[in-house]
Amino acid sequence: MAKIVNYFKEFILADLFRYEESTRLQVFLKAFFISHLGFRLSFWYRIANYFYINKNVFLYRLFRLYFNRKSRKFGIDIPCETEIGPGLYMPHPIEIIINANTKIGKNCNIHQDVTIGESPKGRYKGSPSLGSNIYIGPGAKIFGKINIGDSVAIGANCVVNKDVPKSAVVVGIPFKIISYNGSDGYVRRIIHS
């Protein structure tokens, strides 16, 4: 029981904090039932992910089925095996696709119509790894076995298919670095470990 309580505190409450800057029960209930669809979906993802990590096949499949049923209505495809750090923030959770082998650090903002996918062949064959405190703007596409450094801001409709250094701000198709001001100001209410 202590294990699931610790997971709840580390991941689910960190996600809640990104929306409300509070983890009180009243705030949790309001965010879950009324205010934030993104939080509600991340909650069900976290529960399924917990049982996946702890190899409880029956409960994993049960919660994965429930999460998939809820998320597909909004065009969201996030496999419950995907490794996503605490503090996930999806303000407009519509049409978000993330490959199962993607790794995402803590405090990640993912906006609508984002794809984080695998490249099936070539030099960058594989799936991306994203650092912490990342901002991903609406419509961005990130793919291939690439590394996105900490505190990166990825602009709307940007296509990222190569490594991006820490604190870079990238825009365009294909992307170009326009500054090293990072995601500060875009990623608010971050959690610290």
What element of type H or E holds 47?
A: helix 37-53
- Please report whether residue 190 resides in a domain: no
Q: What is the pLDDT of residue 192?
A: 65
Q: What is the pLDDT of residue 3?
A: 84
- Please report whether residue 189 resides in a domain: no
Q: What is the pLDDT of residue 190?
A: 77
Which residue ranges in the chain fall short of pLDDT 70?
A: 1, 192-193
Nearest-angstrom CA–CA distance, 63 and 51: 8
- Please report whether residue 192 resides in a domain: no
Name the residue range of residue 138's domain.
Answer: 2-179
- Please report whether residue 187 resides in a domain: no
- Please report whether residue 59 resides in a domain: yes
Q: Is the peptide bond before 128 cis (omega within 30 degrees of 0)?
A: no
- Please report whether residue 191 resides in a domain: no
Give phi and psi for 106, each to the nearest 5: -85, 160
Q: What is the pLDDT of residue 5?
A: 85
Q: Where are the beta strands (DSSP E) in the chain?
A: 83-84, 97-98, 103-104, 109-110, 115-117, 129-130, 135-136, 141-143, 147-148, 153-154, 159-160, 169-171, 176-179
**Domain of 32: which CATH number?**
2.160.10.10
Q: How many separate domains does the chain show?
A: 1
